[in-house]
Amino acid sequence: MAEKCDFFILGGGIAGLSAALAASQYGRVILLTKGKIGETATEKAQGGIAAAIDQIRDSTQFHFEDTIAGGAGLCDEAAVKVLVTEGVDRVKELIEMGAQFDRAETEAGGTAFALTLEGAHKRRRILHAGDETGREIEKTLGRRVVAEGKVEILQQMMGIDLLVENAQCIGASALNQQTNQQTNFLARSTLLATGGVCQVYLHTTNPEFATGDGVAMAYRAGAEVTDVEFVQFHPTALVQIKGFEDIVALPRFLISEAVRGEGGILLNNKNERFGDELAPRDIVARSIVEEMKKTGEDHVFLSLKQIAPEKIKQRFPMIYKTCLERGLDITKDNIPVAPAAHYFMGGIKTDINGRTNIDGLYAAGECAATGVHGANRLASNSLLEGLVFGHRAALAARSEFSESSPTPHTPSPIPAKPRLKDVEVQRYKLVIKSALWQGTGIIRSKENLEETFAELEKVERQVDFPAVSMEELELKNMLLVAKLITRAALDRTESRGAHYRADFPKKDDINWKNHLVYKLGVNS
């Protein structure tokens, strides 16, 4: 079975929805979501979206400077300029669509957006909707998509592989998770907006479906990937509380950076404050790791006692409720926290319009590497990136797609039964996640990275057969992405941003102020 459209989009988060809204003005759009509508990393985003809305106390130039500084020398300045300038317009469009960001009273008696401060931002520029900003944005974009009725959304469909003919992407194959049937989607332009990869780590804040599918699909098809060694570890994820062990298998619950922005402080097990809570995330994460090593504990504490209880409940209702359900009253109790894998700065190499090195293939959002984050992403720039570059990619695709309709393809037959039982898939996934956490985590070294790579190659030999189910596809994708991250971490013999080598602890601008690019069969 084959479906035809003008624009084919894989991913229903902020980048995919932003692209769908723009593309739907120019042709037929089909959008696939791996889960149900709304089950995305966007929906989980707590803190906010960064934009220089306050033109009196802030500016796009200040936002530009903060982003460049945070990127540790590897940001693409043109991409950052696009992000901070067009970001203001995109956020204003969200507001016009009805997005309800928090407001506060002004001294003049009116109201204004209640902008907050987060790590490495020197101005208050974070718009938020309580601590469920991602959900509010996703609902706003989703309502507009549904109201316009121009986008066909297919749920519980997972991409298998891109279809490339004569060096041009003409669509992708996808698996219906309910029927296990394959469909080919043929399109004039294909956009990958599949989100992140951090389920390759044992401890992560990412939802279970963040298995690097788009990055793996693109790499197998011959697309370039870059900056894959730069994985951001969020400093403050909730560590399991005694008596609630049944939750341990789930992704770690994120305690938003906005909590520290509003006055939360880090304490060790002696109740001593340490570190700079609003330093870039890589610095805060490493300071926590060092503190845990000193004390022999698996966590430190985040104290909110400097914040008024009513403000905590009003500003962070979801965090307050979730912690209460797990035995913590954060208006009184310190929160046990530790770093967890959170965001992928690397991905499919694109220009500022989302173009890849394959004609007809575009990428946006966390699966793409535009260069806006460099070696370390600033808090709340991720939602902005998806909003801005999803929109740009759709417009670029419209101006460039082939006027000829792609030729029909017969889907490859899918064998009736998977080779692995679910328990076997989960065991292999656990091996990958544990190996990455131990060897390709917050602090890396040649010895540990080589051990990790050898472990991954061992798994690869054991699962050397075609994937035929969603679980097997995820396993294969995780394995490929894990190898790419580890290979790049081995190759970059310096420390920069989120990539820290204990055996090369200093930044080396002479030899390493550049980007590692990988392509199937050719690495540079």
Residues tagged active-site: 281
Q: Name which of 39, 21, 41, 18 is nearest 29 in CA terms.
A: 21
CA–CA dist 229, 74 (Å, integer): 13
Helices (H), 98-237: 133-148, 213-221
Write the CB contacts of 135 (distance below 8 Å, at least 6 apart in sequence).
Answer: 42, 43, 45, 129
The first and second tokens of residue 406, run together, are 């792609």
Return the percent helix, strand and coil in the chain, to nearest 5: 40, 20, 40
CA–CA dist 112, 53 (Å, integer): 10
CA–CA dist 343, 284 (Å, integer): 15
The most distant pair of C-alpha atoms in the chain lies apart, rounded to whole Å, by: 68
Q: Name which of 186, 172, 199, 162 is nearest 471 in CA terms.
A: 199
203: helix, coil or strand?
A: coil
C-alpha 69: how far from chain center: 20
Which DSSP letter does residue 129 get? Answer: S
> What DSSP element (H or E) covers 265?
strand 265-267
CB 6 within 8 A of CB 170: no
The first and second tokens of residue 393, run together, are 């990619």
CB 332 within 8 A of CB 160: no
Write the CB contacts of 189 (distance below 8 Å, at least 6 apart in sequence).
Answer: 6, 7, 8, 23, 360, 362, 397, 398, 400, 401
Backbone dihedral angles phi then psi of residue 477, each to the nearest 5 degrees? -65, -45
